[in-house]
Amino acid sequence: MKHWAIWLPLALFGLLFAVFASGLIAPGDRTIASQMIGKPLPDFDLPQAVPDRPALAKADFTGGKPKLLNVFASWCVPCIAEAPVLAELAKAGVEIDGVAIRDRTADVQQFLARNGNPYTRIGRDDVSKIQFDLGSSGVPETFVINGKGIITYQHIGEIRADQVPMILQKLKEAQ
Partner 1 sequence: MIAEIALAILWLAAALAVLQLGLGSYALTARGAEFLRAVRPIAVVQGLLVAVAFALLIVLFLRTDLSVKLVAANSHSLKPLIYKIAGAWGNHEGSMLLWVTVMGLAGGFVALLERRLNERTMVATLAGQAFVSLGFYAFMLFSSNPFERLNPAPVEGNGLNPLLQDPGLAFHPPTLYIGYVGLSIAFSFAVGALITRDVGPAFARAMRPWVMGAWIFLTLGITAGSWWAYYELGWGGWWFWDPVENASLMPWLAATALLHSVSVLATRNALKAWTVMLAVVAFSMSMVGTFLVRSGILTSVHAFAVDPERGSFILTLLAIYIGGALALFGLRASTVTEGAKFHLFSREGSLVMNNVLLVGILGIVLMGTLYPLVTEAFGTKVSVGPPYFNPVSAIFVFPMLVIMAAGPLMRWRQDNGRKLANLLAVPALVAAGTLALVVVFGGDIGVLPLLGLVFAAGLAVASVLPLWKRNLRRTPAHIWGMVIAHLGIAVALAGMASESAFNTEKLVASEIGQSHTVGPWTIELQGVRPIAGANWTALEARLVARYGDSNVQTVLNPQARMFASPPTATSEAALLTRWNGQLYAVLGEEGDDGRWQLRLWWKPFVPLIWYGGLLVGLGGVLSLVGRTARDLRRKGEPELEPASEPAAPKPAAGGQEALA
Contacts with partner 1, residue ranges (CB under 8 A): 1, 3, 6-7, 9-10, 13-14, 16-17, 19-24, 26-30, 33, 126
Minimum Å distance from CB 14 to partner 1?
Answer: 8
Residue with Cβ nearer partner 1 (24 or 91): 24
Task: Give the shortest CB-13-to-partner 1 separation in angstroms.
Answer: 5
Type of residue numbered 37: I
Decide whether 9 or 165 has the Cβ nearer to partner 1. Answer: 9
To partner 1, the closest distance from the beta carbon of 22 in angstroms equals: 5
Q: Considering the complex, what minimum distance in angstroms separates the CB of residue 47 from partner 1?
A: 13
For 87, list phi and psi in degrees, rounded to 5: -60, -40
Q: How far apart are CA 108 and CA 113, in angstroms?
A: 9
The C-alpha atoms of residue 69 and residue 99 are separated, in whole angstroms, by 7
Query: What is the distance between the alpha carbons of residues 134 and 154, in angstroms, rounded to a whole number?
Result: 10
